[in-house]
Amino acid sequence: RVSDLSLFLALILYHLNWSYNDYAGLACGTVAGHLLECAGQVTGRYFADPGRKDVSGLARLGFPFADVDQKGVVEIGKVKGSGGRIDERTCAEQLLYEVHDPSCYITPDCVLDVTDVHFETTGQNRVRVVGARARARTETHKVSVGYHDGYIGMGEISYAGINSVARARLAGEVVADRLKMCGFVYENFRTELIGMESLHGKMETQLEPYEVRLRVVGRSALRRAVEAIGLEVETLYKNGPAGGAGATQVVRELFAVQSVLLPRQLVNPSVRVGQLT
């Protein structure tokens, strides 16, 4: 795949006639590209948190643009009248997005250091970016390798009312026992209550909700094994705890991605320009 921010960097280097060996220019273009690459994230999408970080007009969110001048000054803005917001907080969050080491953000074109980056508000929904530095690129390319990784099967069912959590937990135990009795084995298998433990696990102190949804999910190399998950969840209607409703089942083929490093000299880039018919 192509690096997202490199698409912006290429335009900036070409338009301003900057050298690919100009580290100040690479830093400028790379930090601009990184702030723009996820579009609406820097204008408030993925930032919004009602009552804590309010963003107005999300339904008509404006996408960002960058003004870059010959001196390397970058200003991030958006179209007037569009929804969302651009300020130092939205820019700071996007600056650190997917960055494990702010002093060593590895890109195909350079290694970016954003530890000294700071933002200056220059107007409404206008922010200047200052302080990015770059050094020489690495000798490898990151390559995303896709491969077939079996199948995932999932079944869900809801329980509501008094003691709904206990009934949902019992339902999950029944499904797990039934699948084991049938001889199915899974590389990964879990039961979880959506809204209580599906993302961060169980909390020590937590009020029980009035309604809850059970999810049972497993991964296997055998399609038949994952198909059985949804079928067993559906049988809970008549053969499980009281009051189950809204059962659904999904089976999908799984293609996983593994990131590897490839020596740069083994990659021969080429460009083909043609017309689609």
CA nearest neighbour of 25 among 38, 36, 11: 11
Per-residue model confidence (pLDDT) at position 98: 95
Structure tokens at 243: 């009051």
Q: Tell me the mean pLDDT in the region 191-217.
A: 87
Identify the pLDDT of residue 122. Answer: 98
* CA–CA dist 75, 8 (Å, integer): 14
| Cβ neighbours, 10 Å, residue 220 | 22
- pLDDT of 250 strictly over 80: yes
CATH architecture, domain 146-258: 2-Layer Sandwich (3.30)
Cα dihedral 158→164→169→170 (10° resolution)? -100
Cα R_g (the chain), whole angstroms: 25
pLDDT in tens, 141-167: 999 999 999 999 999 999 999 999 999
- 199 pLDDT band, cuts 50/70/90, is confident
Which pLDDT value is given to residue 114?
Answer: 98
Of 59-63, 138-142, 172-176, 204-208, least confident by mean pLDDT is 204-208
3-state percent helix, strand, coil for the chain, nearest multiple of 5: 30, 30, 40
Q: Delimit the CATH 3.30.70.1120 region(s) of the chain.
A: 146-258
pLDDT (tens digit, 9 = 90+) per residue, 65-98?
Answer: 999 999 999 999 999 999 999 999 999 999 999 9
User: Which strand ranges, in their side-by-side order, compose the sheet holding 64-68?
Assistant: 64-68, 74-78, 126-130, 118-123
* Backbone dihedral angles phi then psi of residue 168, each to the nearest 5 degrees: -65, -40
Q: What would the pLDDT profile of 90-108 be if each residue is shown by its tens digit?
A: 999 999 999 999 999 999 9
Q: Minimal CA–CA distance to 35: which of 132, 104, 106?
A: 132
